[in-house]
Amino acid sequence: MCGRFTRYLPWSEIHRLYRLTAPAEIGRNDTPRYNIAPTEEVPFVTAGENGGHKLRQGRWSLVPWWAKEMPKAVMFNARIETADTSGAFKDAFQSKRCLVPADGFYEWTIWPADKKFHPWHIFLPEHQPFSFAGLWAYNSKLEVTSCTIITGPASDPMNQIHERQPVILDQSAYEAWLDPGTSAEAAKQLVDLNLNGQLQFYQVSRDVNATVKDGKPNDSPHMIEPIALL
């Protein structure tokens, strides 16, 4: 699964990954984030006009276009095995696929000594930026734009710490993934074009476990710093 992720990409990296064409999307830098949690606002990229890409902002946890009220279930992940048939995700999988910029994410294991959850920071070599495969929706009744991240069975090396992982698409798959004309069947095959086998990880502070501290977002650079193995 993917329950938290990090994003501290300079704007130059955003432009390297995507073809953003709107004037308002040039030269902007977002505040670095080190502990993004479900239901928070995140940027994501969709197909744009004239073959370009469009940067959108929305809630990380999908609100289907047909929902009449905010979902009680938190739908921040969509399983690739059922995303094309699930009632919550199938419409988005058909024509509203997106990319979610990131440069790391967290996963947890239960530590034998104290039976508590301990976080691992997971990233590509040299902490290079990447894109999660995602889905998005706009609900006009609730006026909510939202997205979710696709997950699949974990491969080596991620399967050493968890049975599932988010799909990190290879850049060669971006165009077809975003293209609404790509069929759901073809899109499902695109997840095989991924960078999941390149992932690295190390243990980080349990401070990551709390999203709020003293009434404020718990989001600071030390969260991605490695610690000695417990």
- Annotated catalytic residues are 2, 107
The whole-angstrom separation of Cα 151 and Cα 161 is 15
**What distance in Å separates the CA atoms of residue 98 and residue 131, rounded to the nearest whole number?**
9
Collapse the DSSP code of 141 into the 3-class scheme (helix H, G, I; strand E, B; otherwise coil) and give the result: coil
Measured distance CA(100)–CA(72) in Å, rounded: 23
Strands 5-7 and 33-36: antiparallel
Find the angle CA(25)-CA(126)-CA(161) to the nearest 5 degrees: 105
CA nearest to 220, candidates 196, 201, 204 = 204
Question: Which element (helix H / strand E) includes 14?
Answer: helix 11-17
Contact status, residue 62 vs residue 92, Cβ threshold 8 Å: yes
User: Phi and psi for 191 in degrees, rounded to 5?
Assistant: -65, -15
Three-state secondary-structure class, residue 76: coil
Peptide linkage before 157 cis (omega within 30 of 0): yes
